[in-house]
C-alpha cells in the first residue's frame, strides 16, 4: 500500500489541531539551567526522563512523613524501585505508572496530609502531567518507523535505550554512527518532545489555549491568581498578541493554498 491510512488520518488530524489551536504558556522557573537542550531526540527524551525521575523523588521525599517508608524496600515512596533508568519505552511506562500510583495515593489521602488544598492540587497536577506526557512519549515511540532499534532485531537487544549505558554509548557516537539509532520523527513529534522537555516539571502560572472555533481558555495557577503580578500578565498578553498575529498569517497562507487547489 502506498501509504498507511491510520497514520495519514492521525497526521491530518494532528496538523489540523495545530493549525486550529494556539497554546501560550507562561512559566516561572525556580532556578536557571545553564546547559542548552540537546538537539538529538534521543537525548531530549533522556533529559525529560531524568526530570520526571527527579520530580518523583522530590515529591516522594516531601510526602514521606505522611506515608512512612515503602514496604517494598524502595528508597523513595513515589519513585519505588527503579527497574528502567533510561529513556526508552519501558522507562516512560514505569514513570507513567509510578506517577499514576503516586497521584492516586495523594488523592485518596487528602485528609491525612497537612497541606492546603491548592498545594496538594498543584502536586497532583504535576503527577498527572508526568503520567500524561510519559504516555504521549510511549505512543510516539510505538509508531511505525519511529524507533529503528525496535524493528531491527540486530539493534533491539544491543541498543536498549531503557538501559542508561546505551544512552552513554549513544551520546559519544559520531553523528554518522548515531544516525542509525536516532529516532525518526516528523516535525510535530519533535515539537511534542521539545515542548515537554522545555516545560519539564516547571510550574505553569498562566496558560491560554485559543481555538479557531472561538473558544479561548485561560488557566491560572491558584497561587498566581491570589497574588497576580501585572508584569507577568503583560508578558503573557504580549505573547498572545505575537502568537495570534503569526497564526493569522499561517491561516491566510493555508486558505490561499486551499483556494489554489480547488481552483477558486
Query: Is residue 194 involved in binding other proteins (CB under 8 A)?
Result: yes
The C-alpha cell that represents 237 in the structure block: 498578553
Only segment of 25-33, 67-75, 78-86, 156-164 that touches other proteins (CB under 8 A): 25-33
Give whole-number Cα distances, 143 to 6, 10, 89, 148, 235, in Å.
11, 11, 11, 11, 37
The C-alpha cell that represents 164 in the structure block: 542508561
The C-alpha cell that represents 184 in the structure block: 525518526
Q: Which helix (H) or strand (E) holds 201?
A: none
- Least distance from C-beta 108 to other proteins, angstroms? 27
- Least distance from C-beta 38 to other proteins, angstroms? 11
Coil, strand or helix: which one is 207? strand
Only segment of 19-27, 66-74, 109-117, 147-155 that touches other proteins (CB under 8 A): 19-27
Question: Closer to other proteins at the Cβ: 44 or 80?
Answer: 44
Q: Which of residues 164-183 bind other proteins (CB under 8 A)?
A: 174-176
Q: How far apart are CA 260 and CA 250, in angstroms?
A: 15
Per-position x/- string for 217-256, each x denoting binding to other proteins as judged by CB under 8 A, each - no binding: ------x---x-x-xx-xxx-xx--xxxxxx-xx-xx--x
Q: Which of 101, 203, 220, 233 binds other proteins (CB under 8 A)?
A: 203
Compute CA 71 distance to the chain's CA centroid, rounded to the nearest angstrom.
30
Q: Using the 8-state DSSP alphabet, how is residue 112 labeled?
A: T
- Residue 140 · residue 188 · CB < 8 Å: no
Q: How far apart are CA 46 and CA 152, in angstroms?
A: 21
Q: How far apart are CA 72 and CA 69, in angstroms?
A: 9
Question: Closer to other proteins at the Cβ: 46 or 93?
Answer: 46
**Total of chain residues touching other proteins, rule CB under 8 A:** 50
Interface with other proteins by CB under 8 A: which residues? 18-19, 22-32, 34, 39, 174-176, 187, 190-191, 194-195, 198-199, 202-203, 223, 227, 229, 231-232, 234-236, 238-239, 242-247, 249-250, 252-253, 256-257, 260
Amino acid at each position: 500500500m502506498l501509504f498507511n491510512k491510520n497514520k495519514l488520518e492521525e497526521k491530518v488530524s494532528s496538523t489540523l489541531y495545530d493549525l486550529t489551536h494556539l497554546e501560550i504558556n507562561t512559566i516561572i522557573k525556580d532556578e536557571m539551567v545553564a546547559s542548552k537542550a540537546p538537539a538529538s531526540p534521543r537525548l531530549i527524551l533522556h533529559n525529560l526522563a531524568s526530570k520526571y525521575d527527579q520530580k518523583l523523588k522530590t515529591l516522594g521525599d516531601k510526602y514521606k512523613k505522611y506515608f512512612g517508608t515503602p514496604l517494598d524496600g524502595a528508597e523513595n515512596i513515589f519513585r519505588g524501585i527503579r527497574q528502567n533508568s533510561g529513556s526508552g519505552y519501558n522507562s516512560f511506562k514505569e514513570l507513567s505508572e509510578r506517577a499514576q500510583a503516586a497521584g492516586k495515593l495523594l488523592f485518596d489521602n487528602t485528609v491525612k496530609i497537612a497541606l492546603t488544598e491548592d498545594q496538594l492540587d498543584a502536586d497532583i497536577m504535576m503527577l498527572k502531567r508526568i503520567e500524561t506526557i510519559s504516555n504521549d512519549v510511549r505512543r510516539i515511540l510505538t509508531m511505525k518507523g519511529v524507533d529503528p532499534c525496535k524493528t531491527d532485531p540486530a539493534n533491539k537487544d544491543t541498543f536498549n535505550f531503557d538501559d542508561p549505558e546505551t544512552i552513554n554509548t549513544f551520546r559519544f557516537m559520531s553523528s554518522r554512527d548515531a544516525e542509525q539509532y536516532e529516532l525518526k520523527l516528523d516535525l510535530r513529534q519533535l515539537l511534542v518532545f521539545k515542548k515537554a522537555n522545555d516545560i519539564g516539571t516547571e510550574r505553569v502560572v498562566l496558560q491560554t489555549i485559543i481555538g479557531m472555533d472561538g473558544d479561548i481558555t485561560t488557566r491560572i495557577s491558584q497561587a498566581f491568581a491570589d497574588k497576580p503580578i501585572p508584569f507577568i500578565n503583560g508578558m503573557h498578553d504580549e505573547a498572545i498578541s505575537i502568537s495570534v498575529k503569526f497564526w493569522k498569517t499561517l491561516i491566510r497562507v493555508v486558505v490561499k493554498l486551499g483556494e489554489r487547489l480547488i481552483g477558486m
